[in-house]
Structure formats: C-alpha cells, structure tokens
Structure 1
Amino acid sequence: MDWTMIAIGLTLLGIALIWYTKYRPKVGKEVNVVDDEEDLRVIYNKTIDLISNEKYYLNKSLKLSDLAAELSYNERQVSRSINRFSNGNFNKFINSFRIEYSKELLTGGQFDHYTIEAIAEECGFSNKVSFYNAFKSDTGMSPTQFRALKQSS
C-alpha cells in the first residue's frame, strides 16, 4: 500500500469524524422550543412580574441565564419572549426598569443629595457611562438635565 492511499484514507476518516461531531443527534441536550405566541406571552408576563416585584433590575450583575433559571425556563425562551414583546433585547429591557427607577430617585426629593453616579449605582447600573447612555436614549436628555427640569417644575 502506498503512502498516498493512507493519507487519503486518513483525510476522509477525519472529514467523516468532523461531520459526525457536528451533525449527530444531541443526546440529553434537547431544548423545548416555544414558538407559540401565547406561551411566549406567558413567559414575558412572568418575567415582568419577577423583575418588578423582586426588583431584579437592581442587580448589577444580572444575566439572562440568572433570570431564566429563576423563572424555570431556558435562556432562549426568555430571550425570545423579551425580544417579541418589549422594545429591544435583554439589556435594553432591564435598563428600561432601571431608568424608570432612576427617574423616581432623581425627582423624589429624598435623593437630591445623591450624585448622578450614586443614583446610577442605586439603580443597578455598573457604571456612569452605561447609565448616561441608557438614560439619554430613553428620555432624550441626560440625568442631570432631567433632574434640573423636574426640580424647576
């Protein structure tokens, strides 16, 4: 047998192994995919309830996987429900709760002595830049401008 035939045989064996690894049925990793609009709505409503009632949005390190585990759904289902029924992805969704809470703190009076950075931290943002960008995207003005406008009213 010549070395060329051995090399061709090993190459074909390698290609077959790669193909099998990529396309074989996944045992034990089946994901129950929810495509039904009604089921996704149920997941979304449970997500809203959990985030609102438990104030999950205040957790700076909140991840989609944490939320999905708490809701007993997989990440894909929770993500699809958020994408379908909110105005954006997971981060934008969580930030919308944080922004609403920050508006309360910026205008509530008892937090007037807090800096903008302290308000951002209190609302679950991990840094000032993320807070400013999310706030301005949501309201069209900076937190400082918002606070000044509300205090002058």
Structure 2
Amino acid sequence: MNWTMIAIGLTLLGIALIWYTKYRSLKTTENNEGDDEAELMSIFNKTIELVNTEKYYLNKSVKLSDLAKELSYNERLVSRAINKYGSGNFNKFINSFRIEHSKELLTGGKFDHYTIEAIAEECGFSNKVSFYNAFKSETGMSPTQFRAVKQL
C-alpha cells in the first residue's frame, strides 16, 4: 500500500467524522427544541390556568416573579412561554385578562353605575390612563365607547 492511498483514506475518514459530528449536533438541537416547545406550551397552559383560577390579574402589583414562584418555575421560562404563546410580554398578558374582565363589568348591567375609573380599579389596573390605553389597544375603542355600543 502506498502513502497516497493512506492519505486519501484518512482524509475521507476525517470528512466523514466531521460530517457525522455536525449532523449529530444538529439532530440533538432539533430534539431539544421540540422538548423545549412542549415544556413552554405546558408552562403557558399552567400559567393561564393559575391566572384564571386565582384571578391574579386583579392584583395591581402582580409580578412575573410571583407567578413563576407559584408555578414552581424560574422567571425566565415563564417569561419565554408567555412571550411565545401569549399576547406579548407579561404586562400585556395580564392586561388581556383584565380587559376581558372589564368587558364583563362594562356590559353586565350590575356595574352600570360604576365610573370607568372604578371599573379600571376593579379589574386590577393601577390608573385610568393605563386602563384606557390597554383597552383601546385590545378592542379598538375606549371603555366608554364599548359600554355605549354594548348598551344599545
């Protein structure tokens, strides 16, 4: 056997090893991403369930850290799950629950005598401006307009 054949064989073996290593790491990354997706979806579903059942959105000072602690996950994972599957960041996520609750109060009849500011407070908003901005962003109309349209 000559040295040329050995060199060619070793080169081919090196190329095969490089290709195998690269392919294997890609395959591992794909599997981890799939596992990660499933975990994030599970965390998101648990977050929705907790926020709904415990009515976390009514707490004006609710923080991501509170929610993560209650769920027994770290903040980073809960935040990633909300950002990926929710309606934006943590604040938008919580505000979406508050807006849904405010729609019920604005149209339920029982709270017709409440001012918009009182409804905002009942729903967990810390002030009227943040309520108006979040409501308009989510529904396309102000709370006053929404109440008027729904009472027709």
**After TM superposition, is the score higher than 0.5?**
yes
CA distance in 2, matches of 1:53, 1:64: 17
Task: Name the residue aligned to 1:64.
Answer: 64
Cα root mean square deviation, aligned? 0.8
Q: In the TM superposition, what are the counterparts of 1:37-116 in structure 2 within 5 Å?
A: 37-116=37-116
Q: How does 1:115-134 map to 2 (within 5 A)?
A: 115-134=115-134
Task: Write the distance in 1 (CA, Å) between the matches of 2:79 and 2:54.
Answer: 19
What TM-score does the superposition give when structure 2 sets the normalisation length? 0.77
Q: Which protein shows a greater Rg?
A: 2
Q: Which amino acid aligns with 1:141?
A: M
| Distance across 2 between alignment mates of 1:86 and 1:46 | 12
Partners in 1 of 2:107 and 2:87 — Cα distance?
25
> What letter matches 1:46 in structure 2?
K
Identity %: 81
What's the secondary structure of 2:126's corresponding residue?
coil
User: Distance between the aligned counterparts of 2:45 and 2:132, measured in 1?
Assistant: 28
* Unmatched tracts of structure 2, length 5 or more: 1-34
Structure 2 counterpart of 1:40, one-letter code: L
State the shift of 1:87 in Å.
2.1
Q: Which runs of 5+ in 1 are unaligned?
A: 1-34
Q: Which has the higher helix share?
A: 2
The question of whether the paired residues in 1 share the 8 Å contact of 2:87 and 2:96 is answered with no
